[in-house]
Structures are given as structure tokens and as C-alpha cells.
Amino acid sequence: MGLTPAVEWLREAYHNLERGNGVRVIERGGRRLVRIEWLNLVTEPKILQSIAYVIAEVCRERNYSPDAVSSIETSGAKYGVAASMALGIPYFSIHKFEKIIFTSVASVTSHSQTEGREVRFFLDRDAVSRFKRIILVDDIRRTSRTIDLAIELLQSCGLQVEACFTVFDFKFAKHPLPSRIKPERYHPLFIISAVEQDGRCSVEGGEALKRLGVSAR
């Protein structure tokens, strides 16, 4: 994929955020939820390609050498698959349900604030044991619990998580960064510091803005 189209598609995503295009704020059960339509409901190939381009560029610049990409079903999976294609390495999912085809099940349990329930993540230890270094890709960081839980599961299988990427970091939620990975190895593409009621987002920084030459705020 050429450089110019990827950068232009990133610019389009950035402007969509600033203008609130495809972004809705929903009040539900006393909670304020942000829905980004083009992130999880209808995702165009150019968005997947531009996100994969950024992840591949960061890996190259930081000399990361992953031998596989992992992400969590289902929202983050498409970005993990796109990244694996850009990097030319295998992909595997962290599952939310145990599969009968697993031969050696590894699992961890926590509580999801976003989903409002207990969540369990599963891997087939035998299937992933041939990998050593992983990059983890997710769509959104809000509380960091999901990321920390996924890293805990990967590490329990003997895997080293070289870096973690998220498309969005909801900094406005005011939760600490993931504790199971060093801050310099956590790479959000867009850091959102505020969201107005009409959906307009304040984008503070992130790896995508670096490619666009936009200064962090």
C-alpha cells in the first residue's frame, strides 16, 4: 500500500472525529457512551488499511519483531487481521467463549465495565505455543481492564507482548494506562481527550497524528 493514500485516509478519519461525523453520544443507564459508527458498525477497507499502515510503521520504527498478531473477539479482530496482513505474520484471536476444538485451554476472568458483566478470555495454549513475540491490537481503551486481562492471558501461555496498539484511547474516561505493558510500548492511534454532546471529538495526539504532522495538544 502506498504512503499517500494511507495518510489521506488517516486525515479523513481525523477530520471525521473533529467534526463528529459518524460519532454519537448515547445516554444509557446513567452512563455516557460514545458510538463511533465507522469504527465498529460499518468499516470501510480504507480505514482498515490506514490503521494497519500505522501499526506496521510503528513496528518498523521501534524495531519490534513480532511473529504473530493477536486481538480480542469481536470488535478488535478486524484491526488485528489487517495488521497481520500488513506485517505478513500470522494472526490469532483471544476468544470470549471456550471452543470445543481447544486441546489445552488457558483462560482468565475479570469484570468489564463497558459490558457491565464478568468476562472470560480463552486461548488454546497448544495452538499459540509456537509463537514467542506478540503485538496486541484492540479497538478502544477505556478502563485498561480488557487490555491488561488479554496480556495476562498471553503471558500465562509463555508469550511476550512486545507492544499494544489501540485505534482509540478514551483518555477523557480518566482511567490509568494499562499496567501490564510499559507506557512506551502502548501505542494509541487517536487519543481522545473530550467528546461534545454533538459528537465532536478533541483529538489530543496519537500515532496517527504523528503521520499527519499534527502537533499533540
Q: Tell me the per-residue pLDDT of 140-157, one tens digit each, with 9 for 90 and over.
A: 999 999 999 999 999 999
Here the cell at position 110 is: 475479570
Please tell me the pTM assigned to this model: 0.92
Q: Residue count of the chain, please give it.
A: 217
What's the Cα-to-Cα distance from 179 to each of 86, 95, 109, 158, 184, rounded to whole Å? 28, 21, 16, 18, 12
Are the CB atoms for 108 and 173 separated by under 8 Å? Answer: no
Amino acid (1-letter code) at residue 193: S
Domain 3-212 has CATH 3.40.190.10: no
Could you report the per-residue pLDDT of 47-82, keeping only the tens digit for each?
Answer: 999 999 999 999 999 999 999 999 998 788 999 999
The SS3 call for residue 68 is strand
Instruction: List CB contacts of 17: < 8 A, sequence separation 6 or more.
Output: 23, 36, 190, 192, 201, 203
Say how far apart CA 161 and CA 180 lie, in whole Å. Answer: 9
Which stretches of 41-141 are DSSP H helices? 45-61, 77-87, 125-128
Per-residue pLDDT band at 1 (split at 50, 70, 90):
very low
Are the CB atoms for 68 and 84 separated by under 8 Å? Answer: yes
Are the CB atoms for 166 and 139 separated by under 8 Å? Answer: yes
**Maximum CA pair distance of the chain?**
49
Here the cell at position 115 is: 459490558
Write down the mean pLDDT value for the chain.
91
Say how far apart CA 134 and CA 82 lie, in whole Å. Answer: 15
Amino acid (1-letter code) at residue 76: G
Give, for 110, the enclosing helix (H) or strand (E).
strand 105-112
Task: Inform me whether the pLDDT recorded for 113 exceeds 60.
Answer: no
Say how far apart CA 129 and CA 37 lie, in whole Å. Answer: 36
Nearest to 167 by CA among 183, 186, 143: 186
What is the average pLDDT across 165-183? 96
